[in-house]
Homo-oligomer: A and B are copies of this chain.
């Protein structure tokens, strides 16, 4: 076996921002957040670490760009025809599922500030809010609330997935362990948390996520009437 031939991937075409981002997504999906290294990334691209800096500003930029690729695909999901409420639920679910497949993207999303991936979501939600009869001045706050809620869930799911991975457990085992921790809290200090520990173990995240979206939508309709 020739080491050079085996180790190095073929260089089909020239290095580009897109190819780098694609390779980064591959790496993140396979090895998790800790697996994304300029060393590993450049090895996969059959080049040196320095080459990447010709197309990407730094690691934060790379993560945001990779996250944006995921979000862009999710936001393109079909969402026309139905009511604005249904459309909002559809995008929210598409994002939830995308973050479920790519947990690192949830963490990246939260660190992206007002950058592209967040803007994509804001735009998508905002249009539907406008289609509802939410009065003009309330649209900004309403869209923000929905976006922030989605970001919060994404971030929390990402953290759970990462912790689970680092403990070598799957999602179910990890949540069961957390539920168990909750059961052992002081009953005098944490009655509520103890009472819902069972629901943490058995709950369907996806459904709970949707319930939150519906809560916000219900509040919106309420506002609309006034």
Residues of B contacting A185 in the complex (Cβ-Cβ under 8 angstroms):
119
- A159, CB-defined interface residue at 8 Å: yes
Residue in B closest to A208 when the chains form the complex, CB atoms: B141
Q: Which of B126, B153, B221 contacts A196 (CB 8 A)?
A: B126
Q: Are the CB atoms of A178 and B217 closer together than 8 Å?
A: no
Interface extent on A, as a size class?
35 or more
Each complex incorporates copies of this chain amounting to 2
Chain B nearest CB from A8 CB (Å) reads 35
Residues of B contacting A223 in the complex (Cβ-Cβ under 8 angstroms):
215, 218
B-contact 0/1 string along A149-193, CB 8 Å cutoff: 111110110011011000000000001001001100100011111
Q: Are the CB atoms of A193 and B122 closer together than 8 Å?
A: yes
Residues of B contacting A143 in the complex (Cβ-Cβ under 8 angstroms):
192, 196
In the assembled complex, the Cα of A123 lies from the Cα of B191 at a distance in Å of 8
Residues of B contacting A196 in the complex (Cβ-Cβ under 8 angstroms):
122, 126, 139-140, 143
**Chain A interface (Cβ < 8 Å from any Cβ of B):** 107, 110-114, 118-119, 122-123, 126-127, 129-130, 138-145, 147-153, 155-156, 159-160, 162-163, 175, 178, 181-182, 185, 189-193, 195-196, 199-200, 203, 207-208, 211-212, 214-223
List the 9 closest pairs (A to B, CB-CB), nearest first: A152-B152, A145-B212, A126-B192, A215-B219, A218-B219, A114-B178, A148-B152, A219-B219, A151-B152
